[in-house]
Chains A and B, each alone.
Chain A
């Protein structure tokens, strides 16, 4: 976590008041919470009243996609449109709406470089635009870092008055991002991806739009999200969001890392690199002939943390649905690793990984031939 955010949280944790209380202590906390909301609104490019604090990005995604579906189903729109590379926090609520609530779900594919297929989306909107309750496409993908053409999607959706939600958890504070400029109806953010605390998220929801709630109770956040406001985490979130992340330095290290790896492992290739824009800190590489869980173990034993696509509830590595959507087969998807670079990543660390990688890849290939 960003040290300033830890400090701000510590100070808040020592305060007693519930921000919804009317007494002095409550008002005191409320004041700082609302200041944090305004600071966040400035960074997000939205109005402070458009911020709804949630317990996580997952909760914000669920609230947005279910709420917008329920709202517009009442107007005769039954179609939920998502991209094939969404995070499970969008995929799963969308499929839940299909399985339990009568929604029709259409998943839009991506190109080989990992960008949402705009032509396919346009055909769908042209033909069935008045049936679509909500479109949800992430701003950037968490596995490949590829940035999606959200502004274009919003422009296409506006023609048929379709609300667009975007999971912006990965992009926030990493690339330029403005709720107002993108013209979104709803947006999801989370603090822990930017050096803020775990367990606090934001649903940005356009003013004047009300959606049915998932959590009912005290009605704290616009009657759309109930629950005592988590003041310490909200204050920590605002400090993290207003601290600068050395994006240019990270991007530079990313370039050094990718060119170094590709020079050492000639048959390795980057996923999503042909896309026009990507996040500074995410690199996804396929190492043919390996299995990612073997690589992960070997790298971990040398103090290098990498990630595989995703694990099922039993912890078993599964081929990434994102890479599969980009045209990989099961085998090549399972030969891929994601490396994340952040504010604390150093040039020496990058060098160390590049140096160690050839022997690790060789050992993993032998293990795979067993």
Chain B
């Protein structure tokens, strides 16, 4: 096959490109320039798309022996990922930008462009597995549970999965580093990237504050009584306990947790640990990574964070919302997070959490 390998400059995408080329595919390396004004150097594990990363990607492509180009996706990235991140926060939700990037950039803008240019698919260094099934290719967890990235890929449609190649899903991360060293890739020991790539400081709250501004507003309890003030609603997350600075203690001295953020009234609602618990979640804008979910209640698992646990649940789709009922209560789920449904290790699909119930 003729493939585009998306090369970030990290060790994973370098080995993925090498494996694809070794498997006999005609591979062309592409580094996606996602930042309009890239920083010069990468600092530790934070950020990506620095000039240094683009250099690392080029070197890896040279070592693998494949052509290499840089594609400017800064505008698409800004519109599809960064602005979405800001608007979600502005509406009091907690988005996951890596999901949006896979959905709108890597397996949309890049895959579409690649296909139009005569390529068959896109290779990435994501830790996930695809398998041929009766309904086409399906998406599965990687064998390295600590590195599994199927959660952030659960926004891919069947058509997108058909054009996605993940050569690393069958290998533990530690072995990928060894392999990179054996292949003579200079990035073999480059630190993994964490956090959000377009927030170079790693401080999401202050990054949001700079862009969305912040206004002092009330912190209220479940009855609506004001018991404190916050310095900007974006700096709080659901389930947060520390740093609330409340002056009115609870009767029994038990701690309070952030339950809800209401952006329209700039209000942070707090309550007890029990009030934080939810057992039911509703998701909108579902995407199915395989056969569609029906209205028939089905047993499976739901995951709500990239490296969170798979929680046993019963799920169904009523034609409008994806609904999951948990076996055990869960503490702290924010709207805007992605709920990803698994059937064993297979990714069934995902939706954006729009409502939760105790």
- Give Cα A15 to B224, complex, Å: 90
Residues of A within 8 A of B (CB): 293-294, 296-298, 300-301, 311, 313-317, 363-364, 366-367, 369-370
Cβ contact within 8 Å between A294 and B117: yes
Give every chain B residue within 8 A of A370 (Cβ-Cβ): 109, 112-113, 116
- Cβ of B38 and Cβ of A314 under 8 Å apart? yes
Closest 8 CB pairs of A and B: A367-B116, A315-B70, A370-B112, A316-B33, A316-B72, A366-B116, A314-B38, A314-B51
A296 contacts which chain B residues (CB < 8 A)? Answer: 69
Q: Is the CB of B74 within 8 A of A316?
A: yes
Closest B residue to A311 by beta carbon equals B70
Question: How far does the Cβ of B199 sit from chain A's closest Cβ, in whole Å?
Answer: 19
Does B28 reach chain A (CB closer than 8 Å)? yes
- Inter-chain pairs besides A294-B117, A311-B70, A316-B70, 18 sampled, C-beta below 8 Å: A293-B70, A293-B71, A293-B72, A297-B67, A297-B69, A298-B117, A300-B67, A313-B51, A314-B33, A314-B38, A314-B49, A314-B54, A315-B31, A315-B58, A316-B33, A316-B72, A363-B117, A369-B116
* Interchain CA distance A366-B113 in the complex, whole Å: 9
Give the shortest distance, in Å, between B143 (CB) and chain A (any CB): 34
* B277 CB to nearest chain A CB (Å): 45
Measured CA separation A161–B125 after assembly (Å): 63
**A363 with B113, Cβ < 8 A, contacts A315-B70, A316-B70, A317-B72 known:** no
* B249 on interface, CB distance cutoff 8 Å: no
A314-B38, A315-B31 known; A293 vs B69 contact (CB < 8 Å):
yes
CB–CB A367/B113 < 8 A: yes
- Kindly state the separation between the CA atoms of A298 and B119 in the bound complex, as whole angstroms: 11
CB neighbors of A among B57-106 (8 A):
58, 67, 69-72, 74
Query: B residues within 8 A CB of A301?
Result: 28, 67
Q: Which residues of B contact A294 (CB under 8 A)?
A: 113, 117
Tell me the B residues contacting A by CB distance below 8 Å: 28, 31, 33, 38, 40, 49, 51, 54, 58, 67, 69-72, 74, 109, 112-113, 116-118
- Residues of B within 8 Å of A364, CB to CB, are 117
17 inter-chain pairs at a CB distance below 8 angstroms, sorted by A residue, are A293-B69, A293-B72, A294-B117, A297-B28, A297-B117, A298-B117, A301-B67, A314-B49, A315-B54, A316-B70, A316-B72, A316-B74, A363-B118, A366-B116, A367-B116, A367-B117, A370-B116
Residue of A nearest to B118 (CB): A363
Residues of B contacting A311 in the complex (Cβ-Cβ under 8 angstroms): 70
**Alpha-carbon separation in the docked complex, A294 to B112 (Å):** 13
Dominant secondary structure at the B interface: mixed
Residue numbers in B under 8 Å from A363 (CB-CB): 116-118
Minimum distance in angstroms from A127 CB to a CB of chain B: 37
Q: How far is the CA of A126 from the CA of B51 in the complex (A)?
A: 45
Q: A296 to B71: give the CA distance in the assembly, Å.
A: 11
**Complex contact A315–B33 (CB within 8 A):** yes
State the CA gap A314–B36 with chains docked (Å). 10
A366 to B117, CA, bound (A): 8
With a cutoff of 8 Å between Cβ atoms, the chain B residues found around residue A298 in the complex are: 117
Give every chain A residue within 8 A of B117 (Cβ-Cβ).
294, 297-298, 363-364, 367
Q: How far is the CA of A311 from the CA of B40 in the complex (A)?
A: 15
Q: What's the minimum C-beta distance from B110 to chain A, rounded to whole angstroms?
A: 10
Residue of B nearest to A366 (CB): B116
Q: How far is the CA of A367 from the CA of B109 in the complex (A)?
A: 10
Docked Cα-Cα span, A301 to B49, in Å, equals 25
Q: Which residues of A contact B33 (CB under 8 A)?
A: 314-316
Closest beta carbon of chain B to A304's beta carbon, Å: 13
What are the residues of chain B within 8 A of A317 when measuring CB–CB?
Answer: 70, 72
Residues in B whose Cβ lies below 8 Å from that of A369: 116
B35 — nearest CB in chain A belongs to which residue? A314
Among the interface residues A294, A297, A298, A311, which one has the most CB atoms of the partner chain B within 10 A? A297
Q: How far is the CB of A335 from chain B (nearest CB, A)?
A: 14
Q: Separation in Å of the B113 CB from the closest CB of chain A?
A: 5
Which of A296, A315, A367 counts the most B-chain CB atoms under 10 A from its CB? Answer: A315
Question: How far is the CB of B26 from the nearest CB of chain A, in Å?
Answer: 9
Q: When chains A and B are docked, how far (Å) is the Cα of A142 from the Cα of B245? A: 63
Please indicate the chain B residues that have their CB under 8 angstroms from the CB of A366 in the complex: 116
Q: How far is the CA of A306 from the CA of B67 in the complex (A)?
A: 15
Query: What is the chain A residue whose CB lies nearest that of B49?
Result: A314
Write the chain B residue with the least CB distance to A313. B51
Closest chain B residue to A298 by CB distance?
Answer: B117
A311 to B69, CA, bound (A): 11
Provide the residues of chain A in CB contact with B51, threshold 8 Å.
Answer: 313-314
Complex contacts, B54 vs chain A, CB 8 Å: 314-315
Bound complex: CA A314 to CA B42 (Å): 13
B116 and A314 contact, CB distance less than 8 A = no
A313 and B33 CA atoms in complex are apart in Å by 11
In the complex, A296 Cα to B112 Cα: how many Å?
A: 18
Once the chains are docked, how many angstroms separate the CA of A88 from the CA of B93? 46
Query: Which of A293, A314, A370 is the most central at the interface, judged by chain B CB atoms within 10 Å of its CB?
Result: A314
User: What CA separation (Å) do A243 and B51 show in the bound complex?
Assistant: 40
A296 and B117 alpha carbons, distance in the complex (Å):
12
B118 A314 Cβ-Cβ under 8 A: no
Residue among B31, B33, B109, B117 with the most chain A CB within 10 A?
Answer: B117
CA–CA, A311 to B70, complex, Å?
10
Q: How far is the CB of A358 from chain B (nearest CB, A)?
A: 15
In the complex formed, the residue of B with least CB distance to A317 is B72
B71 proximity list for chain A (CB < 8 A):
293
